[in-house]
Amino acid sequence: MTETNFAKGITAQNLRAFLDLWPTVLNGIEETIEIMNIDGDRLFGNGNDQFGWCHLYELPIRDLINKLFSELTYIVPESILSGWYKQAANCPGNIGELPQLYNDVNTHFDSRPAPGLEQIEAIRPHLPEIGALLIAIRYSFYSILYYGCYLNELIVRARTGDNEALFAAIRVDPTVVGCPSVIDRISKARRLQDQGFLNELRKTESGVSNKRKQINFQMMRLVFKVLTDAGAVRLSDDQLHELFIEGLQLYTANEKGGGAEKALRKHADIYMTQNATT
């Protein structure tokens, strides 16, 4: 039986493999950042406290990944990096490439000896930018899980006056307030004594709500984002049932009146639109 193609050759099997890999990718980023924090003085030297990343949230995720690959040329041979880049370029429409790419990257770094002092000195100038990019990418990925879109997409909307998008971005990473466009909006509110805005801004200190941390809904937002980025516009009710209830088992059908399936339809209509936050 031929599997349903949901967008650019993406099947439920591809998506299952992608969701299985996703926590490992996030953990890998977290562990790398933790190593940088633990060994910060040795790796960064005087630059340990001299880099930020909030400015990177103004850039699309593709630009962040391109910048990361560019900086990695100082650590990984260009011939190897070029191969990884080609694999990554296939990922938006063929996420089946991702598990192999992740394995290739891990195999390369696991087989390398720990860098010596001379190597560290050579790459030291590039480590702050690599660290900043990894942090920005990490929180942009979390933004998908919580709000169904990247942080830069929230900030684009904030620039057009969407306060809810701005508050959502701050909940994901409070350093977002360092972005020039966000500073401008907060400064305007302070100048005009816009208490409604300022009160809502204070509420962002509590972070992302527990409701948005429910794992099945995070995975659903992630799948919707993958399909949207791959060109899918709208899934039919039958496709939603096949994918989320039967295939990925992220949603439970309700035999009485189809109430849950109606909610699934509403959920899809929200998160298969560009830059959703609801």
Phi, psi of 11 (to 5 degrees): -115, 170
Q: Which residues of 21-36 are buried (b: 16+ CB within 10 A; e: fewer)?
A: bbeebeeeeeeeeeeb
Would you give the end-to-end CA distance of the chain in angstroms?
Answer: 37
DSSP one-letter string for 233-275: ----HHHHIIIIIIIS--S---TTTTHHHHHHHHHHHHHTSTT
| Residues 268 and 250 sit within 8 Å (Cβ to Cβ) | no
Length of the chain: 278
**Rounded Cα–Cα distance for residues 83 and 88 (Å):** 9
3-class DSSP state of 34: helix
Cβ neighbors of 105 (< 8 A, separation 6 or more) are 84
**Which pLDDT value is given to residue 278?**
57
Cβ neighbors of 233 (< 8 A, separation 6 or more) are 272
More confident residue, 78 or 50: 78
The crossing angle, in degrees rounded to 10, of helices 12-38 and 127-147 is: 140
Q: Is the predicted pLDDT of residue 46 greater than 80, yes or no?
A: no
Segment 213-217 shows an average pLDDT of 93
For residue 23, what pLDDT band results from cuts at 50, 70 and 90?
very high
Written as one letter, the residue type at 153 is E
pLDDT by residue (tens digit) across 119-154?
Answer: 778 888 888 889 899 999 999 999 999 999 999 999
For residue 76, what pLDDT band results from cuts at 50, 70 and 90?
confident
For residue 277, what pLDDT band results from cuts at 50, 70 and 90?
low
pLDDT by residue (tens digit) across 79-120?
Answer: 898 888 887 776 666 687 788 888 888 888 888 887 777 877
